[in-house]
């Protein structure tokens, strides 16, 4: 019988993870099936118990359960504890362990575009929500020279600085980030600006050519930030890579095998009807 894995969230109908994961299982010749399960917040405890008892090998967790699931797990990995959210659960004979692969997944994708040593990297992170927290934590582990974080709500950026960043890093205002943009060689947008409206998270007049600009939004495929940055000679990347690599790391945790991430990326791009960015 095929081993079960899947995604729980509310809602989950939009997710491309089943196509991406099932394609990778098939390619690897592994007998797993990945499905999505809409779980109302009131039914989270019951769903966790049920999936554990039914012998799921593990599952992904998305909004709004990433924090709420933590009390129901037996163990939580250090990165997920620091980030304060779990996106991957592994079930080993009823023992449930929570991980967070969002930040590490994002970094894997980003690093394909970085051709200078990370000790020389000056990173600007825009936004201070859940995704920013995961990316900030993973980025600080990568050892760049400095990380500056900015957000509309400064207190939230301050919280991430205190909990996930290092002494040499800093919190700056959006205005200061705009004025100092030329200093950074990696710029990451983690806000949802650009998803629904064709708008920039900040002005990019001072962006220098060759800067790696990443937007974790993948729909639209090229946000206003990516379009404007590309015009200024930046190396751009969208959120497909984060989606793919967080999923690839989950796959590895469930199976012990690394999937074909290029195939996963191709499946997602086809689902989105997009085309490769900067490749
Ligand atoms: P979140 O926790 O709700 O954080 C949202 C962030 O966007 C906050 O920094 C918020 O600023 C900012 N923001 C929202 N609306 C704004 C506005 N009108 N003006 C200025 N700032 C605004 O969301 P999240 O989970 O971190 O996700 C953020 C984005 O990343 C979403 O678009 C999501 O789809 C995408 N994402 C992609 C992946 C992937 O795999 N590619 C994974 C996770 C998330 P305030 O703090 O001031 O409210």
pTM over 0.85: yes
Helix (H, G, I), strand (E, B) or coil at 155: helix
Which stretches of the chain drop beneath a pLDDT of 50?
277-279
Give the residue, out of 109, 159, 190, with the most ligand 1 atoms within 8 A of its beta carbon, to mutate for a pocket test: 190
In this structure, which residue's CA is closest to atom 9 in ligand 1? 127
What is the model's pLDDT at position 275?
A: 61
53 CB neighbour count, 10 Å cutoff: 10
Measure CA 132 to chain center.
8
**How close is the Cα of 50 to the center of ligand 1, in Å?**
31
Question: pLDDT tens-digit profile of 223-279?
Answer: 999 999 999 999 999 999 999 999 999 999 999 999 999 999 999 999 998 665 444
> N- to C-terminal Cα distance for the chain?
40
CA–CA separation, 254 vs 240, rounded Å?
Answer: 21
Give helix 261-272 / helix 17-28 axis angle, nearest 10°: 150
Question: Which tokens in the block code for residue 167?
Answer: 């002494």
CA–CA separation, 57 vs 30, rounded Å?
Answer: 13
Q: Which of 3, 4, 54, 66 is an active site residue?
A: 66
List all residues whose CB is within 6 A of at least one atom of ligand 1: 127-132, 151-153, 156, 190-193, 195, 216-218, 239, 242-243, 246
What is the model's pLDDT at position 38?
A: 98
- Cβ distance 189 to 127 under 8 Å? yes
**How close is the Cα of 18 to the center of ligand 1, in Å?**
23
Ligand 1 atom having least distance to the Cα of 194 = 32
Q: Is 66 a catalytic residue?
A: yes
**How close is the Cα of 168 to the center of ligand 1, in Å?**
25
**How close is the Cα of 190 to the center of ligand 1, in Å?**
6
Question: Which tokens in the block code for residue 149?
Answer: 């974080």
- Cβ distance 190 to 216 under 8 Å? yes
- Cβ distance 91 to 57 under 8 Å? yes
């Amino acid at each position: 019988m095929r081993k079960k894995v899947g995604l729980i969230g509310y809602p989950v109908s939009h997710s491309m993870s089943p196509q991406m994961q099932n394609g990778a299982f098939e390619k690897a010749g592994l007998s797993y099936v990945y499905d999505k399960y809409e779980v109302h917040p009131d039914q989270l405890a019951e769903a966790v118990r049920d999936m554990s008892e039914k012998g799921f090998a593990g599952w992904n967790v998305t909004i709004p359960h990433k924090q709420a699931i933590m009390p129901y797990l037996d163990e939580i990995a250090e990165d997920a504890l620091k980030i304060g959210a779990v996106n991957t659960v592994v079930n080993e004979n009823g023992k449930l362990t929570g991980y967070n692969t969002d930040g590490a997944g994002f970094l894997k994708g980003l690093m394909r575009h970085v051709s200078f040593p990370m000790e020389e990297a000056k990173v600007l992170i825009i936004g201070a929500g859940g995704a920013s927290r995961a990316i900030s934590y993973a980025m600080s582990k990568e050892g760049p020279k400095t990380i500056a974080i900015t957000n509309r709500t400064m207190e939230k950026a301050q919280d991430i600085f205190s909990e996930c960043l290092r002494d040499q890093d800093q919190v700056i205002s959006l205005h200061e980030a705009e004025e100092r943009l030329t200093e950074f060689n990696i710029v990451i947008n983690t806000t949802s600006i650009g998803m629904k409206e064709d708008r920039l998270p900040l002005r990019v007049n001072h962006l220098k050519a060759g800067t790696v600009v990443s937007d974790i939004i993948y729909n639209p495929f090229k946000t206003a930030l990516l379009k404007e940055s590309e015009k200024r000679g930046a190396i751009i990347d969208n959120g497909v890579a984060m989606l793919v690599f967080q999923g690839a790391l989950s796959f590895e945790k469930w199976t012990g095998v690394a999937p074909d991430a290029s195939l996963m990326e191709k499946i997602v791009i086809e689902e989105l009807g997009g085309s490769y960015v900067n490749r």
